[in-house]
Chains A and B, each alone.
Chain A
Amino acid sequence: MIFSRVIGTVWATERVESIKQSALRLVAPCCPRTGERQGPPVLAVDLVGCRENDRVLVVYEGSSTRFALDDKETPCEAIVVGIVDLVDMEEE
């Protein structure tokens, strides 16, 4: 799972049938300690009701997303599975 921050929301009415009903968040992978961005943003289907600037856990793997969405017709490969409350890491 990739530690990410929610940086936005995407609306898309014209899209493939099966993922019409779910909310699409724009998430950016970031460092768990510093929060500094570490890569291009990704669209993830939001299953936990996260909001802007939340730190979240994102699963990038296809079959687990289809399992979570319980929909074999979903062309989706990233879902938000959890909202992070606390990160406790030693200094490197």
Chain B
Amino acid sequence: MFLAQVCGTVVADHKLAELQGAIFKVVQPVDEQGRITGPKIVAVDNIYSRHGDLVYLVKGKEAIIPWKKTDMAPFDAAIVGLVDGMELA
């Protein structure tokens, strides 16, 4: 799981049937200081995050676990948490 900043929304009406109802958000992976750590990716949003929110995502097969609409769905990144606060060493 890694930190990311929500920086946009993607709407795609014409998509695979299993992805019906998915909310796509554009997220920018960042580190704890907010520095960019990788290219922007599109992830399925499970927690209705808003623009500019600091969230964290899960990648890979585990991204599908919170997805309750169909038992299997073809996506590999999902927003699973909204960061309220961080305490750094």
By CB atoms of chain A within 10 A, which of B31, B37, B47 has the most?
A: B31
- Interface residue? B78 (CB, 8 A): yes
Q: A16-B80, A41-B3, A44-B1 are in contact. Are A52 and B89 (CB under 8 A)?
A: yes
Chain B 55-89 residues near chain A, CB threshold 8 A: 56, 58-63, 65-66, 78, 80-89
A7 touches B81 (CB 8 A): no
The size class of the interface chain A forms with chain B is 20 to 34
Interface string of B1-41 (1 = CB under 8 A from A): 11100000000000000000000000001011000011000
Chain B: number of interface residues, binned into ranges: 20 to 34
Minimum CB–CB distance for A73 against chain B, Å: 6
A9 to B87, CA, bound (A): 5
A16 contacts across to B, CB distance below 8 A? 46-47, 66, 80-81
Q: Taking the complex as formed, is A38 at the interface, i.e. its CB lies under 8 A from any CB of chain B? A: no
- Which B residues fall within an 8 A CB radius of A? 1-3, 29, 31-32, 37-38, 46-47, 56, 58-63, 65-66, 78, 80-89
> Taking beta carbons and an 8 Å cutoff, which residues of A are in contact with B?
6-19, 24, 26, 40-44, 52-53, 62, 65-66, 72-78
